[in-house]
A = this chain, B = another copy of it.
Amino acid sequence: MPTYKLIYFDVTGLGESIRFLLNHCGIKFEDTRIAIDDWPKHKSDMPMGQMPVLEIDGKRYHQSRAIGRFLAKKGNLYGADDFEAMEIDATIDSMDDIRLALSQYYWEKDAAFKEKLKETAFQKLPYYLDKFEAQVKKNGGYFVGGKLSWADFLWAAYFDYLSFVLAGDPNKDHPELKKLVEKVRGLPNVKAYIEKRPTTQL
């Protein structure tokens, strides 16, 4: 059996969907959480100076979506064929587009830019949520193909991050999304992980 080690900050952020996937797939892994103060001394050891990084048998892989896709294949969460895989990928990238818009606003230090980034992100958000809601409704309660996929996991995991950035449930006005997120977070291994995971600020 290969050994897995996830290396990320002690936050949900871009790492939580990977933690959900690893737990759901029953893959044992070391959940290494780097304190923000220690990051400078680790940064140059990461493939592109970023995290999350997944170490498999000592080899380091990076980029959260690349890692997520690799695990999705292992967990049979990547669609029935290349067309469904393409739809899952597109959904993932759209989720990340809106996540990035919100992140850029959230982390900006300059007050004027922050306000501008906030305006842009909050203008986009309802469009994305409405599109996602319609997509889940059309696909029988899941994002793609009427069955559980990696896309459902990413949205269920971004719930933590987005709830923090938005200071509230991102899905509160979108019942299909809310139901789906609860479904994923209620999967036995995911639920058990959430119950025992460290409490983090973000």
> For window 28-66 of chain A, which residues contact chain B by CB distance below 8 Å?
47-49, 56, 61-63, 65-66
A85 at the interface (CB under 8 A from B): yes
Q: Which B residues touch A89, using CB under 8 A? A: 63, 65-66, 69-70
Query: How many copies of the chain does the oligomer comprise?
Result: 2
Q: What residues of chain B lie closer than 8 Å to A82, measured between beta carbons?
A: 70, 73
Cα A69 to Cα B87 with chains together (Å): 11
Tell me which residues across on chain B come within 8 A of A94, comparing CB atoms: 48, 62-63
Q: How far is the CA of A87 from the CA of B90 in the complex (A)?
A: 19
Nearest-neighbour CB distance to chain B for A131, whole angstroms, equals 6
| Cα distance, A2 to B103, chains bound together (Å) | 40
Q: How far is the CA of A67 from the CA of B82 in the complex (A)?
A: 10
Q: How far is the CA of A179 from the CA of B25 in the complex (A)?
A: 42
Contact among B49, B93, B113 with A65 in the assembled complex (CB-CB below 8 Å): B93
Q: Are B47 and A66 in contact (CB under 8 A)?
A: no
A70-B82, A70-B86 known; A127-B65 Cβ under 8 A: no
If A48-B131, A49-B127, A127-B49 touch, whether A86 touches B61 (CB-CB below 8 Å) is yes
Q: Tell whether, in the assembled complex, residue A61 and residue B90 are in contact, meaning their CB atoms are under 8 Å apart.
A: yes
Whether A147 sits at the interface, judged by CB under 8 Å, is: no
**A residues at B contact (CB < 8 Å):** 47-49, 56, 61-63, 65-67, 69-70, 73, 82-83, 85-87, 89-90, 92-94, 110, 112-113, 116, 127-128, 131
Given known contacts A47-B90, A63-B89, what 12 new A-B pairs fall within 8 Å (CB)? A48-B131, A61-B86, A61-B90, A63-B93, A65-B89, A66-B86, A66-B89, A69-B86, A70-B83, A70-B86, A113-B113, A113-B116
| CB<8 Å pairs between A and B, sample of 7 | A48-B90, A48-B128, A49-B127, A61-B83, A63-B94, A110-B116, A113-B116
